[in-house]
């Protein structure tokens, strides 16, 4: 398990939680918001998975940035479900906590990758002018 990618593992678990919640929403005839949350919530992990096959660092950052945007959208839908009392506060709190952790991880990886890209670009620029 030491080789596990925490971002992939956490996003996959989050997707499973979202699917479970959306099943409950469907049984309660809460289709529209559930559908929106299902799309954004599972897209987080799907784009993280896709980022592992990125063709470049730029493509990698792009896929993770899409994941981050989807996480922010999911955050909105979960809050809306909580505040409209469609979903119990405890359920929403758990999902929000997991989602916020994903957002922090995504932000960290994106920033670190951009720093690495800038360093490589600067090194190439210096070597081209030498």
What DSSP character marks residue 55?
S
Could you list the pLDDT tens digit for every one of the 130 residues in the chain?
456 899 999 999 999 999 999 999 988 878 899 999 999 999 999 999 999 999 999 999 999 999 999 999 999 999 999 999 999 999 999 999 999 999 999 999 999 999 999 988 888 877 776 6
Class of domain 6-128: mainly alpha
The per-residue pLDDT for 112 is 97
The per-residue pLDDT for 123 is 84
Question: Would you state the structure tokens that stand for residue 4, as one six-digit string?
Answer: 């596990």
What whole-number distance in Å separates Cα of residue 95 and Cα of residue 74? 9
Is 54 in a helix, a strand, or coil?
A: coil
The per-residue pLDDT for 3 is 67
The per-residue pLDDT for 28 is 82
The full set of domain ranges for the chain reads 6-128
What whole-number distance in Å separates Cα of residue 40 and Cα of residue 47? 11
The per-residue pLDDT for 1 is 42
The per-residue pLDDT for 18 is 98
pTM, 2 dp: 0.89
- Tokens 């994903």 belong to which residue? 102
């Amino acid at each position: 398990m030491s080789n596990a990618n925490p971002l992939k593992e956490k996003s996959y678990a989050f997707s499973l939680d979202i699917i479970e919640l959306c099943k409950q929403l469907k049984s309660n005839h809460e289709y529209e918001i559930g559908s929106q949350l299902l799309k954004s919530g599972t897209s987080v992990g799907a784009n993280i998975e896709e980022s592992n096959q990125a063709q470049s660092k730029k493509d990698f950052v792009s896929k993770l940035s899409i994941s981050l945007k989807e996480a922010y959208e999911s955050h909105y839908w979960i809050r809306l479900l909580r505040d409209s009392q469609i979903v119990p506060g405890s359920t929403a709190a758990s999902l929000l906590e997991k989602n916020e952790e994903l957002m922090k991880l995504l932000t960290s990886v994106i920033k670190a990758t951009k720093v690495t890209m800038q360093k490589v670009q600067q090194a190439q620029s210096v070597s081209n002018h030498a």
